[in-house]
């Protein structure tokens, strides 16, 4: 703890020494953001020392962790002690601070909500250079509630106290096929309401849509043994997890491998790099089958445009990047997927049910500490009484004649809004300022921004999410 406090003091001192006439950004070696960023003057703040589990209270099932702690570090530290965070986002290098100031989900989100809902308090470095302790009630409750989905525009989480849950050694899986998204939606509603499927407990649920008539729910539960299998399955080498949904009805993974089942192949995006070809797979070192390795390949392409140049030489049309996660009310999931499968040539598609935790500390009170019927997290205003499904799709599409780059993304934004959903802001966004403010809590954001960053040391949320600054 003493070393952690010294690291915080060093960050505060470093921030004070930065020039005040340029935007401040974090100096990070990795990122899980897909926004294009305009090059311009900026100063970098190194907060890399703020990582790791600082304190663990096993009796209370809570931990104080540095804001730059990756979920891989968290799992490595906590799982041997029998704990995991309530929600572990799918990719190893997502940080706890990034998941809370951005957005993170996983197969436990239908019962445990979003990562920021398991936060009990945060120490945040604000634009004024002050470190404040934000909690659900009290002097800085406004910052506590506006911080989720603010993407560093209000400050940086130096450390956080988070709730944990008990883990078991294994996760038993059941993959259930549906011939229509409508039937799958009905099944999701049952699992979310009952927490069971055919009288069997469900601790985790997500799914994959391969086509109009082929979709799967993957239902998981904690377990203490491999349940009749000779050994747990291994999808960190030759075998590919998402294909197992089509091939197996039942499966068992270690808790560790289940938590990172999507990271090995970046869901299915590793196929773009040839990593799923059997020959390439045998030659690709297992330790490099990781999302951060694939992200570096994408970052290289974004900087140098090697493949886009080759495609142009071959006479192929330019391509638009469509990398998005959207939350759709469960009642409108079938309508959205019917539209998407007709209009957007991307397959497969990931589904992850989600709803806000009704008993979360931060979800019970309003910005002033009083009970409210409004959204508890105003910058991502999901309704507390609504069941949602996250729909994730990550690829590129050809830009057809007469169309321009961004048209497909704009169409997705329009359809999501029409159906009462919301779009995550980690990737390209095209909203005008007025629409953006109406969708992402502009009225709640403005006074908090004025209070904690009155001189505009950090770019605004709109500048970050849409203007890519």
159-212 residue pLDDT tens: 999 999 999 999 999 999 999 999 999 999 999 999 999 999 999 999 999 999
Best CA proximity match to 361, nearest among 137, 42, 191, 51: 137
Say how far apart CA 447 and CA 390 lie, in whole Å: 30
106-158 residue pLDDT tens: 999 999 999 999 999 999 999 999 999 999 999 999 999 999 999 999 999 99
- Burial readout 292-328 (b: 16 or more C-beta within 10 A, e: otherwise): bbbbeebeeeeeeeeeeeeeeeeeeeeebbbbbbbbb
Paired strand residues for 66: 159
Share of the chain above pLDDT 70, in %: 94
Cis peptide before 348 (omega within 30 of 0): yes
Say how far apart CA 221 and CA 201 lie, in whole Å: 7
51-65 residue pLDDT tens: 999 999 999 999 999
What is the rounded (10 degree) CA torsion for 69, 73, 78, 84?
Answer: 70
The count of C-alpha atoms lying within 13 angstroms of the C-alpha of 419, restricted to the half-sphere facing its C-beta, is 26
Residue 250 near residue 172, CB atoms below 8 Å = yes
Long-range contacts at 109-112 (CB < 8 A, ≥ 24 apart): 109/352, 109/353, 109/354, 109/355, 109/390, 110/191, 110/192, 110/205, 110/352, 110/353, 110/354, 110/355, 111/195, 111/203, 111/357, 112/86, 112/87, 112/165, 112/357
- The angle, 0 to 180 degrees and rounded to 10, between the axes of the packed helices 181-194 and 333-343 is 140
Task: Identify the three-state secondary structure at position 375.
Answer: coil
> Which pLDDT score is estimated for 35?
64
Residue 234 near residue 214, CB atoms below 8 Å = no
Provide the strand spans (E) within 14-118.
24-26, 43-45, 53-57, 62-66, 83-85
Q: Is the pLDDT of residue 369 over 70?
A: no
Q: Is the pLDDT of residue 292 over 60?
A: yes
User: Predicted confidence band at 367 (pLDDT cuts at 50, 70, 90)?
Assistant: very low
> Which pLDDT score is estimated for 366?
44
> Which pLDDT score is estimated for 41?
53
> Which pLDDT score is estimated for 331?
98
User: Predicted confidence band at 37 (pLDDT cuts at 50, 70, 90)?
Assistant: low
Q: Phi/psi at 217 (nearest 5 deg)?
A: -105, 135
> Which pLDDT score is estimated for 392?
98
CATH topology of domain 2-167+458-465: 3.30.465
Best CA proximity match to 420, nearest among 324, 325, 331: 331
User: Predicted confidence band at 261 (pLDDT cuts at 50, 70, 90)?
Assistant: very high
- The residues spanned by each domain of the chain are 2-167+458-465
Task: Identify the three-state secondary structure at position 185.
Answer: helix
Say how far apart CA 274 and CA 266 lie, in whole Å: 13
- Of the ranges 29-33, 84-88, 362-366, 415-419, which one carries the lowest mean pLDDT score? 362-366
397-456 residue pLDDT tens: 999 999 999 999 999 999 999 999 999 999 999 999 999 999 999 999 999 999 999 999
Q: Is the pLDDT of residue 32 over 70?
A: no
What is the rounded (10 degree) CA torsion for 248, 254, 259, 261?
Answer: -40
Record the pTM.
0.94
């Amino acid at each position: 703890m003493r070393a952690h406090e010294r690291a915080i003091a060093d960050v505060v001192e470093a921030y004070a020494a930065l020039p005040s006439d340029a935007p401040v950004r974090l100096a990070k070696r990795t990122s899980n953001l897909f926004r294009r960023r305009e090059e311009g003057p900026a100063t970098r703040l190194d907060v890399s020392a703020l990582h790791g589990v600082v304190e663990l209270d096993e009796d209370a099932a809570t931990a104080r962790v540095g804001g730059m702690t990756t979920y891989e570090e968290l799992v490595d530290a906590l799982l041997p002690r029998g704990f995991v965070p309530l929600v572990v986002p799918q990719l190893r290098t997502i940080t706890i601070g990034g998941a809370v100031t951005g957005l993170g989900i996983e197969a436990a989100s239908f019962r445990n909500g979003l990562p920021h809902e398991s936060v009990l308090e945060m120490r945040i470095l604000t634009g004024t250079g002050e470190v404040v302790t934000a909690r659900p009630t009290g002097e800085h409750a406004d910052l506590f509630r506006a911080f989720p989905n603010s993407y560093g525009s209000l400050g940086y989480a130096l450390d956080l106290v988070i709730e944990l849950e008990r883990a078991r050694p294994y996760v038993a899986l059941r993959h259930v096929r549906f011939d229509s998204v409508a039937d799958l939606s009905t099944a999701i509603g049952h699992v979310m309401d009952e927490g069971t499927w055919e009288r069997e407990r469900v601790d985790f649920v997500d799914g994959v849509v391969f086509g109009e008539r082929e979709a799967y729910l993957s239902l998981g539960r904690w377990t203490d043994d491999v349940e009749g299998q000779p050994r747990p399955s291994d999808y960190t080498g030759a075998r590919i997890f998402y294909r197992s949904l089509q091939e197996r009805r039942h499966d068992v993974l270690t808790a560790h491998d289940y938590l990172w089942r999507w990271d090995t192949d970046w869901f299915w995006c590793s196929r773009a790099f040839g990593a799923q070809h059997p020959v390439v797979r045998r030659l690709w070192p297992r330790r490099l089958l990781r999302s951060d390795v694939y992200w570096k390949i994408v970052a290289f392409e974004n900087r140098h445009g090697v493949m886009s140049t080759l495609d142009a030489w071959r006479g192929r049309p330019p391509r638009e990047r469509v990398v998005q996660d959207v939350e759709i009310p469960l009642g409108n999931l079938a309508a959205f997927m019917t539209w998407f499968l007709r209009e957007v040539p991307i397959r497969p598609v990931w589904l992850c049910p989600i709803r806000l935790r009704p008993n979360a500390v931060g979800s019970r009170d309003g910005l002033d500490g009083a009970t409210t019927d409004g959204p508890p997290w105003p910058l991502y205003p999901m309704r507390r009484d609504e069941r949602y499904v996250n729909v994730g799709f990550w690829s590129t599409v050809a830009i057809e004649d007469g169309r321009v780059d961004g048209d497909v993304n704009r169409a997705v934004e329009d359809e999501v809004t029409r159906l009462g959903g919301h779009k995550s802001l980690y990737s390209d966004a095209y909203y005008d300022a007025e629409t953006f403010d109406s969708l992402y809590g502009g009225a709640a954001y403005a006074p908090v921004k004025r209070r904690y960053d009155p001189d505009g040391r950090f770019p605004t949320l709109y500048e970050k999410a849409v203007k890519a600054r």
